[in-house]
Amino acid sequence: MEILKSAPQRPRMNAHAERFIRTVRAECTDRLADYNEQHLRQVLAEHAHHYNSGRPHRALDLRAPADGPAVIPFPAQRIQRHDVLGGLIHEYRNTV
């Protein structure tokens, strides 16, 4: 492991890194058992790909960071989520 220091000119750089780490832990690594370093690297690479290309971000109007300008986000106001088993399972229904 290597410690990377944040640049003095970028005071929010550390906050962005901590937010990403918290998201990865909550969505990915806290929910599975890692076998070894190779397995963990593979899981983190797959999650990073999902985070940048498939996962919607609220700050980007429910777009993924890798979305092109021609991509039209799915209109979320027409979809309602219903929790089953106290939120363990989510069902989605179209309200058109």
pLDDT at 89: 64
User: 81 near 90, Cβ under 8 Å?
Assistant: yes
Q: Tell me the pLDDT tens digit for each residue of 53-86.
A: 777 777 777 777 777 777 776 665 677 888 876 6
Sign of CA dihedral 30, 35, 36, 38: negative
Residue spans per domain, the chain: 13-94
Segment 1-9 mean pLDDT: 78
pLDDT at 65: 79
